[in-house]
A = this chain, B = another copy of it.
Amino acid sequence: MQEMIPVSSSEKHEFIDITPQVQSIVRKSKINEGMCHVYSMHTSASIVINENADPSICLDTIDAFGMLVKEGVWRHDKVDGNADAHIKAAMLGASQTIPVKDNKLLLGTWQAVSFFELDGPRSRKVCVTVVGK
């Protein structure tokens, strides 16, 4: 079972909660136990599992990555101006995998699945694959 989720970002750096869309694909898969792979089709965006109860955590994470990887100081910035987004995406990885149990994502109490835009605003795609039984 595999499906693409369209994501539309409106800011340069942005967390977009995609848990409901991923949950709905897991339901449709009818897979009872297994795992769900959530994959960013891009090299300047990533998938993060974080707490979304306090939205300031997303802003803090955006700020932290901004401090760790400066903008505009890299070789690739002479070509495209978004080297920092590529470096951050490499640090984060392209995907997250979540256990599936009872035909649902098995998330911890505070966990949400977010698309992390690192070079928006853009139209993006996330590929969700569910395997198991």
Which residues on A are within 8 Å of B, measured CB to CB? 1-2, 33-35, 37, 39-43, 48-51, 54, 56-57, 59-61, 63-64, 68-69, 74-76, 79-80, 83, 86-87, 89-101, 106-108, 110-111, 125, 127, 129, 131-132
State whether A61 and B41 are in contact (beta carbons under 8 Å apart), knowing that A94-B111, A96-B94 are contacts in the complex: no
| Contact in complex: A93, B90 (CB < 8 Å) | no
Partner among B37, B51, B131 whose Cβ is within 8 Å of the Cβ of A43: B51
| Contact in complex: B56, A75 (CB < 8 Å) | yes
Report A33 CB to chain B, min CB distance, Å.
5
Interface CB pairs A-B, < 8 A, 19? A35-B129, A39-B99, A40-B108, A41-B106, A41-B107, A41-B108, A42-B111, A43-B50, A43-B51, A49-B90, A49-B93, A50-B89, A56-B74, A57-B83, A61-B90, A64-B69, A64-B87, A93-B96, A95-B98
